[in-house]
Amino acid sequence: MKKPFVTLEQVKEIEKTIPTPFHIYDEAGIRQKARDLNRAFSWNKGFKEYFAVKATPNPYLLSILKEEGCGVDCSSLTELMMSEACGFSGSDIMFSSNVTPEADMKKAFELGAFINLDDFTHLEFLENLCGLPETVFCRYNPGGHFTLDNQIMDHPGDAKYGMTKAQITEAFKIMKAKGVKYFGIHAFLASNTVTNDYYPSLARTLFTLAVELHEETGADIRYINLSGGVGVAYKPDQQENDIFAIGEGVRQAFEEVLVPAGMGNISIFTELGRFMLAPHGHLVAKVLHQKHIYKEYVGLDACAANLMRPAMYGSYHHITVLGKENAPCDHVYDVTGGLCENNDKFAIDRALPEIEIGDYVVIHDTGAHGFSMGYNYNGKLRSAEVLLKEDGSAQLIRRAETPADYFATFDFSPYFKK
């Protein structure tokens, strides 16, 4: 079973100053995850993790990852601005965007970020807008299906991201002729994989592509970005990914494909948002309501506006009732929020201990794509974020929204003028 990293006593103490619901993150777990990742890829001299800011955009968390040697993967102007505020610049930033506005591209260029082009037309767009930097990445989409052991993992051919091999080949030739010195390749072929084979298989695909592109274009390929896709075990009966086995699998592919081709100097990059943060975040909520009709319902002070993955994807998130960790799960509930939408459910027909009004629940694995996907439907306000520090103390790292925040974009009008 999944065990929370926070106790009932700690939550009660935190709630004296920070009301539920709130997202809480485990500093010790985050730091250990970053260190394990760096150790798993220490065989590659240029290895760097570019944390996907979109997963958990909070400057306090980004600063922790910066201390552990990570860079940032940004996809928008505001993510670039947040990263800049945290002290990231230059090659510590990977800018991977699509349907990119001019202001976003200009900011990435001004910061000296690695720019990863999503589409062939972006080559001309970048050149006309900013000029071509010394190093440029291109995002690859092989089309078709991505399979492992004859199992379809995802459908790159249906994805809006990346270029065909022919387009990348042409882009490399054009950029090389225009003075670009160094090149990188990037790809994301499957999401949230819980298998140690995904990264090694992806790596072998990209390593082979790099060799072919070098032979066809003469491009000096210095970097290969494996992007994200390494997932987490949301369900308690799932086997977690072993990052050391994954790193070793990538190393073997590196030795077998790149080294014989004389390309053993290539640096490996990753962009692991979910893997890095999801297990180290909880959504903590309080039970407000019980309802007994055709089913048994418990209603929380959190809702899909705080965590939309279950409503959006039907995703499983494990739930622990604090203080009842060892009680029998002999009751079946739908665990809901208060939105005027019937899909506002964190769990359906979930076996849990008997729940009473006032109980605190922990919803697990919300450290990535949890708070960041929040919204304000029904006028719901985004929650606070809290850091459980290594010494056991709790630090507010984002205050909860207030009605004044919700109405702030009407400050020009006569209705809510300051």
Per-residue pLDDT at 143? 79
Q: How far is CA 222 from CA 16, 50, 267, 338, 367, in A?
A: 52, 16, 6, 51, 32
- What does the alpha-carbon distance between residue 362 and residue 14 come to, in Å, rounded to a whole number? 14
Strand 394-398 relative to strand 384-388, pairing: antiparallel
CA 217 to chain CA centroid, Å, is 33
Q: What is the per-residue pLDDT across 222-264, written as a single tens digit (0 to 9) for each? A: 999 999 999 999 999 999 999 999 999 999 999 999 999 999 9
Per-residue pLDDT at 152? 46
Pick the closest to residue 188 from 80, 266, 273, 256 (CA basis): 273
pTM over 0.85: yes
Residue by residue, DSSP assigns 228-249 as S-B----STTSPPP-HHHHHHH
* Domains, in order of start, for the chain: 8-22+279-410 (2.40.37.10), 27-278 (3.20.20.10)
Q: What is the per-residue pLDDT across 52-104, written as a single tens digit (0 to 9) for each? A: 999 999 999 999 999 999 999 999 999 999 999 999 999 999 999 999 999 99
Q: Decide: 10 and 322 in contact? Cβ < 8 Å.
A: no
Maximum Cα–Cα distance across the chain: 71
Q: How confident is the model at residue 159 (pLDDT cuts 50, 70, 90)?
A: confident
- What does the alpha-carbon distance between residue 318 and residue 3 come to, in Å, rounded to a whole number? 10
Catalytic annotation present for 86: no
Per-residue pLDDT at 74? 98
